[in-house]
Amino acid sequence: MAISLASLKTSSQLTPPAIIVHGVAGVGKTTFAAGSDKAVAVCTEDGLGTLKLPHFPLARSFEEVIEALAALHAEPHEHRTLVVDSLDWLEPLIWQHACKINNWSTIEEPGYGKGYIAALDLWRQYLDWINALREDRRMMVVQLAHTDIKRFDSPEHEPYDRYVIKLHARAAALLQEHADIVLFANYRISTVKSDVGFNKKVTRALGSGERVLYTAERPAFLAKNRYGLPDVLPLDWDAFAAAMPKFD
């Protein structure tokens, strides 16, 4: 089809967002996602516990993940939200599949990072299905991930540690760029200096157990959003949904 100015489009309808939620262990990421509208889960780890969330059998291969996404795309259903739990347990399945189709014993075998580059093609296949569900089935996608602490080498400041998504750097960059929202889930913590004598002070962390979502990047953690969300929200689906624009 020839491209011309007649092909220009304007639309006020928002595509349902692709969301990544990463956070410390046990903070409640899965419980948060389970509160979303008519959710269904594709699980690469057994993390649902007692949550009553419809889900496919535990995926033990990349092919099984894609089969589940294809079923949601092709078959009739009323689910409105896809929950992927979790990205960092999906990554070894992607590496395993890359090794299988390339006859490698490990993802490191080809050397020079070539295995991880090949894995990006599989991540893109996964994202193609995610986009198809968002665009064709109008499903929101909530992808859960554990978090890791890594040193960030800033070109402007001394290096410092920050919370990042627990994925290989290349994969993390690809998924972060694709996502409309990256949320960091953590306990709200404050610090206080205490005098321990001998003119010495120690810094102690204080926490009330309150769990929050950070929606904007800070030196200590990775986060972003494209919707002008408040910088901090309670780790509660209803509070998050109330702050989001409507995409129907």
Q: Is pTM, for the whole model, over 0.85?
A: yes
CA distance 133 to 149: 32
Residues 6+ apart with CB under 8 A from 85: 30, 33, 41, 42, 43, 44, 45, 47, 48, 144
| More confident site: 20 or 154 | 20
**pLDDT score of 228:** 96
The answer to whether residue 26 is domain-embedded is: yes
Give the count of beta carbons closer than 10 Å to the beta carbon of residue 61: 14
Residue 39 in domain = yes
The residues facing 212 across adjacent strands are 186, 234
Please report, for the domain that includes residue 175, its CATH number: 3.40.50
Domain count, the chain: 1
Residue 111, sorted as left (phi over 0), alpha (psi -120 to 50) or beta, turns out to be: left
Q: Which domain holds residue 162?
A: 16-186+213-242
Domain membership of residue 114 (yes or no) is yes
pLDDT at 123 (0 to 100): 98
Cis omega (within 30 of 0) on the bond before 86? yes
- Cβ neighbours of residue 173 closer than 8 Å, sequence gap 6 or more: none
Residue 3 pLDDT = 83
End-to-end CA distance of the chain: 29
CA atoms within 13 A on the CB side of 152: 17
Count Cα neighbours of 221 within 13 Å in the Cβ-side half-sphere.
Answer: 20
Backbone angles phi, psi at 179, to 5 degrees: -70, 145
Residue 66 in domain: yes
* Distance separating alpha carbons of residues 29 and 108, to the nearest angstrom: 31
Per-residue model confidence (pLDDT) at position 205: 44
Residue 33 counted as domain residue: yes
Residue 202 lies in a domain: no
**Residue 204 pLDDT grade (very low, low, confident, very high; cuts 50, 70, 90):** very low
50 part of a folded domain: yes
Q: What is the pLDDT of residues 42-87, one digit of tens each?
A: 999 988 888 999 999 999 999 999 999 999 999 999 999 999 999 9
How many CB atoms neighbour CB 105 within 10 A?
Answer: 7
Contact 126, 66 (CB under 8 A): yes
Has residue 10 been placed in a domain?
no
Q: Please count the other Cβ atoms lying within 10 Å of the Cβ belonging to residue 205.
A: 9
- CA dist 204 to 8, 62, 200, Å? 58, 44, 13
